[in-house]
Amino acid sequence: MSTQNFHNIAQLRFWNETEIEHRDRAQEMIVSTVRSNLKRTNRAWSVQRMEGPLLTPRDFLSAEYTDEDIWVTPVSIADQQIVLRAETTASTYAFIRENFPHKQLKLPACFWQVGKSFRREKTATATKLRFFEFYQLEMQCLYSVDTRVDYRAKLMSELADTISWITRSKARVVESDRLPTYSQSTLDIEVLYRDSWREMASVSIRTDFAPGVFNLEVAIGLDRIVEAWNQSKI
């Protein structure tokens, strides 16, 4: 079976060196934008990278995901069904709680990771910017609910400009058409792709980390950015 046929049948994507390099550049630029913006707003921000496992207990995932959305393995550990992660947030939360016990986490603090996530997309095709497996960059930026500064408001325009430059496409900020139960508010950054607006990033104010703590979550599909950039060159 040729790689082209494999891609068409399995709806999986092959990436060449140029695309991989652009994905790496996009990651570096986005993290730099968020880090510099946060620190420019408040020097007290700490920003650090971590990494969690691709395999995760089913109960770690948000209840937003049903078994129709995720890839389930035949393995169970301690009566926990093991699945391929659908996002990185759960493992970031687990890392923070394990390494920074109660009252030892100094806010504001941002933890981020990048890696593959897996979803059973019903319309998984490159043209729809949906994939069964994809690289996701997620930044969990934690701060006190008593904070008067609107960190997201100060970030959105600059982040949209960065994504516009990376994709060589016009970008806009819009209210998300979906609001997860864990989010107080979600804004999307979309770019023009094949004459229609497509989401590249989702920026939420999450309330599910701990009482008294807001989480400014920046979630970006790096593969989407590469595909949008590819289209801009045609």
pLDDT single digits (tens) 160-182: 999 999 999 999 999 998 888 89
User: Mean of the per-residue pLDDT values for the chain?
Assistant: 90
Residue 5 has pLDDT above 80, yes or no: no
Taking the C-alpha atoms of residue 226 and residue 23, their distance in angstroms, rounded to an integer, is: 6
Mean pLDDT of 33-41: 98
pLDDT of 6: 58
- Cis peptide bond prior to 108, omega within 30° of 0: yes
Taking the C-alpha atoms of residue 74 and residue 138, their distance in angstroms, rounded to an integer, is: 28
> Given this structure, which CATH class describes domain 3-51+86-232?
alpha beta
Q: Which residue intervals of 69-196 are DSSP H helices?
A: 89-99, 151-167
Taking the C-alpha atoms of residue 50 and residue 39, their distance in angstroms, rounded to an integer, is: 19
One-letter amino acid identity for 216? L
Q: Label residue 141 by pLDDT band (50, 70, 90).
A: very high
Taking the C-alpha atoms of residue 216 and residue 205, their distance in angstroms, rounded to an integer, is: 5
